[in-house]
Amino acid sequence: MSDSSNSFWQALPALKERQRRTGLLAALVLGLAVLVLVDGLQALMRAGSYHLDIVAGQGTMLSGPIGIDKPRDSDLLVSVTPEGAPLSFRLDGFFASYWFGNGMWRGEVVAEQGATPGTYTLSVRVRGTPASATQRYEITVWSDAASQRQGAYSLTVSLLGFNPFWLSGILACIGIVPGLLMSFLMMGTVFLISQVRGYAGFSEVFRTAPQKDGSLLLWCPGSKKEGPAEGALCEVVDADGQPLGRARLEKKAATCMELRLAAGELPEDEVPESCYVRLSAPRN
pLDDT digit string, tens, across residues 105-121: 999 999 999 888 999 99
The mean predicted confidence, pLDDT, of the chain is: 83
Q: Is 23 exposed, middle or buried (0-12, 13-18, 19+ CB in 10 A)?
A: middle
Q: What is the pTM (predicted TM-score) of this model?
A: 0.58
- 40: confidence class by pLDDT, cuts 50, 70, 90: very high
**One-letter identity of residue 107:** G
pLDDT at residue 210, rounded to an integer: 86
User: What CA–CA distance (Å, rounded) separates 103 from 170?
Assistant: 34
For the cut 80, the answer to whether the pLDDT of residue 1 exceeds it is no
Query: What separation in angstroms does the CA of 30 have from each of 40, 134, 148, 169, 179?
Result: 15, 41, 28, 10, 10
Lowest mean pLDDT among 28-42, 94-108, 247-261: 94-108
- 33: confidence class by pLDDT, cuts 50, 70, 90: very high
For the cut 60, the answer to whether the pLDDT of residue 284 exceeds it is no
pLDDT tens digits along 52-97: 899 999 999 998 888 788 888 888 999 999 888 999 999 998 888 7
For the cut 80, the answer to whether the pLDDT of residue 232 exceeds it is yes
**One-letter identity of residue 94:** F
pLDDT tens digits along 165-205: 999 999 998 888 777 776 776 666 666 655 555 556 778 88
User: What CA–CA distance (Å, rounded) separates 164 from 115?
Assistant: 27
Do 90 and 108 contact (CB within 8 A), yes or no? yes
For the cut 60, the answer to whether the pLDDT of residue 37 exceeds it is yes
pLDDT at residue 194, rounded to an integer: 57
Sign of CA dihedral 39, 43, 44, 46: positive
**One-letter identity of residue 183:** S
